[in-house]
Amino acid sequence: MHRKTDSPYFIDKLPQNWSNVLFIRKILPQAHFIDIRRPAMDCCFSNFTQSFTSAHASSFTLEHIGQCYVDYVRLMGHFDAVARGLVKHVSYERLIDDPHSQLVPLLEYLGLRWDDAVLEFHKLDRVVQTPSSEQVRRPLNRDGMQVWKPYSQWLAPLRKTLGSLASTD
């Protein structure tokens, strides 16, 4: 139902896909997995401020979204330890600062060559029905970074749950 074209690629970026990597690998053995890691506080606060459906129940409390992030980081670390290369990791901050140096190895991982159009994604005429629908209409930018800081005094439950992951922000 999601395959509306004959394109050989399909991208699914649902927030909880990280927890289904092994299932996805089983049903789609040719699948590639990319972990674009945002700083914990940025990521969690962003997800907390979205109005997700009940399908993303972990986003309804600061503690739950923090625990979800902790579990995600732990699982990615486990995959790195037991199945090196299963997941390609990209730092969101480095991607914003130097897209070319981050995207060339990512495209190589996917078996693709560099094309300057990669950086022109915001100019594509397409329907986007996700919370990132406005983000994909703009070039890469730092606007979503440290947005949580003005609300810091109310985010203690999130920082506590994240532990040391919160201190890297």
Is 148:41 a contact under the CB 8 Å cutoff?
Answer: yes
69 SS3 class = helix
The tokens for 88 are 């390609």
Q: Dump pLDDT digits (tens) for 68-110.
A: 999 999 999 999 999 999 999 999 999 999 999 999 999 999 9
Q: Dump pLDDT digits (tens) for 4-41.
A: 777 777 788 777 889 999 999 999 999 999 999 999 99
Enumerate the domain spans of the chain: 17-168
The CA-based angle 96-76-121, given to 5 degrees, is 30
Architecture of the domain made up of 17-168: 3-Layer(aba) Sandwich (3.40)
According to DSSP, residue 34 is labeled E
Mean pLDDT of 56-67: 83
Q: Dump pLDDT digits (tens) for 102-153.
A: 999 999 999 999 998 888 877 767 666 666 656 666 778 788 889 999 999 9
The predicted structure's pLDDT at residue 86 = 96
According to DSSP, residue 89 is labeled E
